[in-house]
Every structure is written in C-alpha cells, then in structure tokens.
Amino acid sequence: MSNTTPILCARHVTKRYGKFTAVNDISLDILPGTVHSVIGPNGAGKTTLFHTLTGTTPITTGSIQVEGEEVAHLPGHRRVRKGLARSFQVTSLFPNLSVRENLRLAAQGKHPYAALNPWRRPELLRAACDSAEQLLTRLNLQTVAERISAELSHGQQRRLEVGMAMAAQPKVIFLDEPTSGMGIDDIGEMKQLIHSLRDSATVVLIEHNMDIVMDISDQITVMQQGQILAQGKPAEIRSDERVRRAYLGSMITGGKA
Ligand SMILES: Nc1ncnc2c1ncn2[C@@H]1O[C@H](COP(=O)(O)OP(=O)(O)OP(=O)(O)O)[C@@H](O)[C@H]1O
Ligand SMILES: [Mg+2]
C-alpha cells in the first residue's frame, strides 16, 4: 500500500440518460493493492459509475485513465485487455458446465488470440488447467468441482462468479454487490475472499453490507444523487456527519458500531 500512484484515475466522469444525469462530474483515484468501496443509497449512481469505468456503457463526458493510459472511449473488451475485470449482479456462468470447466474457460479467455495458435495451444491449456485448480482452492469450491454450476447453492455461484473475473488475472476487479441475497455463512466467506484479492489485484467494490465495507475497505467513496458526498478511510466515513444524515445513520447506530 506504499504505492501512491493511482492505477485508475477518473476525471469529471459524467453519464446522462437523456436529460437525467445518473453520474455527475465524478473524479476518483483508485490506488493499487487496495479495496476501494463505493457506497450510497439506492439510485445514487454506483452501478452506472461502474458501467462507465468498465466500458459496459459509453461515457457522456470525462476521462478515465488506467496506468496513465486513456480508456474512456475504448469498448469493454479492450479494457479487459488493459487489466479491468468485472463481476456482475447478473450471473455470468455457463450453467451446464462444471465448476472446473467454467474456471478453465475463463482462464483460457486470458489469451483469446493465442489460443487459436495450434503451437501454443497445449501450453496454454495446461496453464488454464493449473490456474483453474488454484482458483478452486481459493474459492473453497474443491468439493463441488465436478458439479454443473446450475446446481450450486446461491453463495457458491456468487463465489464462482468472482472466480471467473479472477481467472483473467486482472489488475483491477469490479464487484457489484457480491453478497446480495446471501446467507450469513456465505457472506463471511465472500468477505474473506474479497479481502484476499488485494494481495494480487485492486478491488473496487459496491456493497450495501456496512460490516463488510467498514472491515475490509482501505478507502470509501460515498455517492448521493450521482455525485460524491464524501471520501475517506472507514473511520472518517463512519464519523462524517453528512454521510450519517444521508445514508449511514440508521445502519451504523443500529449495527455493531
Ligand atoms: N439505462 C438507463 N436509462 C435511464 N436511467 C437509468 C439507466 N440506468 C440507470 N438509470 C438511472 O440512474 C440512476 C442511478 O442508477 P444506478 O443503478 O446506477 O444506482 P445504484 O447506486 O447502483 O443503486 P442500487 O443501490 O439500487 O443498485 C437511477 O435513478 C436509475 O433509474
Ligand atoms: Mg446498483
């Protein structure tokens, strides 16, 4: 965490839908090797901000740099090659393939063109298999490796989705509400998994569960009505009067803090 050169810089990012401004002049620095959470009430523009950063939706105005390189107008698949990966609220698994096959495919996707080269295929397949086995362990899915992904529990599916994003070995991984709809046991496991990601990547996290956000974030950005309301470390956000009024009040005083 000593590296203070941002891996991702967003400047004056604005996204309009017709006359409605969903993301309004957001500027953000994401530092490498950190968990940076984006929180805020429903409709604040968090998911829309993610979509503009990952290239899922075109930006209206503004600049987005990844390691100093402008990507604001690159399509999503080109940003993947710059090292951005995302895990959606919507499931992105191949339901009829096994857990292991899902991970192997995702790992192969790292070299989409090289995989077409017959001379490099065996070597790349071996690498994809190795990385799938490592992921199975990290995701705690070894015991269900042969099951088709449609048969997994909800919590296991959500972990596998994060694993699919990890398989490409991204520099920055975007997670939009990875614990939504989860039971308490699965939430604990997901929290540990997200926290462990920052050893090898940078995590940008949208999350409504304040216990998780306050425990594992290095930096928190609070959004409200498309804009940044506050930014800081968990302790600063927790004690910020404006944040309490806008969003956290009931959640924090009613929670473990
Ligand atoms: N494709 C779209 N067309 C028009 N308006 C949209 C579109 N997508 C999002 N919006 C609007 O932009 C605003 C921000 O939505 P967004 O999904 O980014 O919020 P959010 O902070 O992720 O909320 P939540 O916590 O409920 O997921 C909302 O008012 C939403 O209705
Ligand atoms: Mg959202």
Averaged over successive runs of 10 residues, the pLDDT of the chain (257 residues) comes to 83 97 98 96 95 94 96 91 76 87 86 68 85 94 96 93 90 94 91 93 95 96 96 95 79 46
- Cα 205 to Cα 48, 88, 133, 171: the distances in Å are 13, 11, 25, 14
Instruction: Confirm if 162 and 140 have CB atoms less than 8 A apart.
Output: no
pTM of this structure: 0.91
Residue nearest to atom 18 of ligand 1 (CA): 45
Of ligand 1's listed atoms, the one at least distance from the Cα of 22 is 12
And the tokens for 251? 């959640």
Identity of residue 134: Q
Task: Please state, in angstroms and rounded to a whole number, the distance separating the CA atoms of residues 199 and 166.
Answer: 12
* Substitution candidate for ligand 1 out of 46, 205, 222 with most atoms within 8 A of CB: 46
**Residue 71 Cα, ligand 2 centroid: separation in angstroms?**
22
Indicate if ligand 1 lies below 6 Å from the C-beta of 180. no
Residue nearest to atom 27 of ligand 1 (CA): 42
Give the pLDDT score at 118.
74
And the tokens for 16? 């309009």
Task: Please state, in angstroms and rounded to a whole number, the distance separating the CA atoms of residues 8 and 60.
Answer: 18
